Amino acid sequence: MNQNEFDKKIKYFHENMPKQCPILYSMKIIGSKWKIPVMWYLMLNDGQHYNELKRSIGSITNTMLTKSLRELEEDGLLKRISKGTVPPSVTYHLTDTGKDLIYTMGDLFEWGKNLMEKTQRN
């Protein structure tokens, strides 16, 4: 992004800033360390079971995965679907609100990928 594009974006943000900062509001909902990875792996493979998510994410603890899933469900970003079987079969799915983050997540993915490549070249 060149300086002119950057300046236009900053001007837009200044002109459209509501009383409550949208960044702070967004971070309140998705700002914990594990919520974005949980949502990312659900975007890549919707309808995962708890253990599938845990394997995908890797180093997350059971406590943090459970907490993240509950909070994301409470905030309306994912839904928990139980098939009512024995043993229990529960899958997690993004809601339409959760799916709205695909563009933001895609941009974050590209930014991180480019930064990693730059760092590895140096």
- Cβ contacts of 55-64, under 8 Å, gap ≥ 24: 60/34, 64/33, 64/34
Asked if the model's pLDDT at residue 122 lies above 80, the reply is: no
CB 34 within 8 A of CB 61: no
Per-residue model confidence as pLDDT tens digits over 2-18: 999 999 999 999 999 99
Per-residue model confidence as pLDDT tens digits over 56-102: 999 999 999 999 999 999 999 999 999 888 888 999 999 999 999 99
One-letter amino acid at 18 equals P
| Cα–Cα nearest to 47, from 94, 93, 78 | 93
